[in-house]
Amino acid sequence: MLGLRHLYFNLVKLPLKWLVKVKTLPENPIESLDLDTTKPIYYVMRTRSTSSFLMLQQECEKHGLPQPNYLSSNQTEVPNGGAFFIQHKQIFGRRPSTITKYANQLEKLLEQHQDNVDDIQLVPVSIYWGRNPGKEKSLLRLFFTDTESATPFRKFLILLFQGRNSFINFGRPLQLARLGKSQSAKVNVLKIVRTLRVYFHRQWIAAMGPLVANRKQMITSLMADDKVIEAIKREQKKKNLTYRKAQKLALKYADEIASSYSYKTVRFMSTVLSWLWNKMYGGIKVQNAERVRELASDHEIVYVPCHRSHIDYLLLSYVLYYEGLVPPHIAAGINLNFWPIGSILRRGGAFFIRRSFSGNKLYTAVFNAYFHSLLNKGIPVEFFPEGGRSRTGRLLQPKTGMMSMMIQNFMRGCRKPIMVVPVYVGYERMMEGKSYVKEMQGAQKKKESMGQLLKVRNQLKQRYGKVYVNFADPINLESWLSQSDENWRSHKTDEKPAWLSESVSNLGELCMTRINQSTVVNCVNLTSLILLSTQRRTLGKQELASQLELYLKFLKELPYHQDINCAYDSAKSIIDEAKLLGALNEFENPLGNLCQITERSAVLMTYYRNNIIHLFALPALIASHFRQKSSIKKQQLIAGCKALYPLLKRELFLSYSDSELNQAIDQTLSFFDSHGLLEVVNDDILRPKLESEAFSSLMLLADTLRETLERYGITLTLLATHAGVGAISRAELENQSQKLAQRIAALYSIYAPEAFDKSLFQQIVSTLRQSHLITNGEGGSCRLAVAYLTYNTW
CB contact at 8 A, 287 and 319: no
Beta-strand pair 594-596/679-681: unpaired
- What is the DSSP annotation of 694-726? HHHHHHHHHGGGHHHHHHHHHHHHHHHHHTTT-
Per residue in 226-273, pLDDT (tens digit) is: 999 999 999 999 999 999 999 999 999 999 999 999 888 988 898 899
Residue 741: its pLDDT value, please?
Answer: 84
Residue 455: its pLDDT value, please?
Answer: 63
Q: Residue 469: name the closest of 394, 567, 381, 396 by CA.
A: 567
User: Which class is domain 706-784?
Assistant: mainly alpha
pTM assigned to the model: 0.89
Residue 449: its pLDDT value, please?
Answer: 65
pLDDT score of 281 more than 60: yes
Q: What is the number of alpha carbons within 13 Å of residue 114 lying toward its C-beta?
A: 11
CB contact at 8 A, 679 and 630: no
Per residue in 690-747, pLDDT (tens digit) is: 999 999 999 999 999 998 888 888 888 888 887 666 678 888 888 888 888 888 877 7
- Give the residues across from 25 on adjacent strands: 169
458 CB burial (10 A radius; 0-12, 13-18, 19+)? exposed
Q: Cβ–Cβ contacts within 10 Å for residue 418, how many?
A: 22
CA-CA distance, 57 to 48, in Å (whole number)?
A: 14
Beta-strand pair 684-686/631-633: antiparallel
Per residue in 625-648, pLDDT (tens digit) is: 999 899 999 999 999 999 899 889
Average pLDDT over residues 286-306: 93
Residue 639: its pLDDT value, please?
Answer: 93
Beta-strand pair 781-784/774-776: antiparallel
Residue 781: its pLDDT value, please?
Answer: 63
Give me the torsion for CA of 274, 276, 280, 283, rounded to 10°: -10
pLDDT score of 434 more than 60: yes
Residue 738: its pLDDT value, please?
Answer: 85
Fold match flag (215-269+284-513 vs 519-607): no
Residue 792: its pLDDT value, please?
Answer: 44
pLDDT score of 773 more than 80: no
In this structure, which topology does domain 519-607 adopt according to CATH?
Arc Repressor Mutant, subunit A (1.10.10)
- DSSP run (H or E) holding 352: strand 350-353
Beta-strand pair 467-471/418-427: antiparallel
pLDDT score of 478 more than 90: yes
- pLDDT-derived band at 489 (thresholds 50, 70, 90) equals confident
pLDDT score of 780 more than 70: no
Lowest-confidence segment of 125-134, 524-533, 778-787 by average pLDDT: 778-787
Q: Residue 717: name the closest of 624, 626, 790 by CA.
A: 790
Q: Which CATH architecture has domain 215-269+284-513?
A: 3-Layer(aba) Sandwich (3.40)
Strands (E), 428-505: 467-471, 475-476
769 CB burial (10 A radius; 0-12, 13-18, 19+)? middle
CB contact at 8 A, 646 and 657: no
CA-CA distance, 227 to 429, in Å (whole number)?
A: 46
- pLDDT-derived band at 368 (thresholds 50, 70, 90) equals very high
Q: Can you give the residue ranges of every domain in the chain? A: 2-208, 215-269+284-513, 519-607, 706-784
Average pLDDT over residues 15-27: 82
Per residue in 748-765, pLDDT (tens digit) is: 767 666 776 777 788 888
Which residues have a Cβ under 8 Å from the Cβ of 72 and sit 6 or more positions away? none
Per residue in 567-589, pLDDT (tens digit) is: 999 999 999 999 999 999 999 98
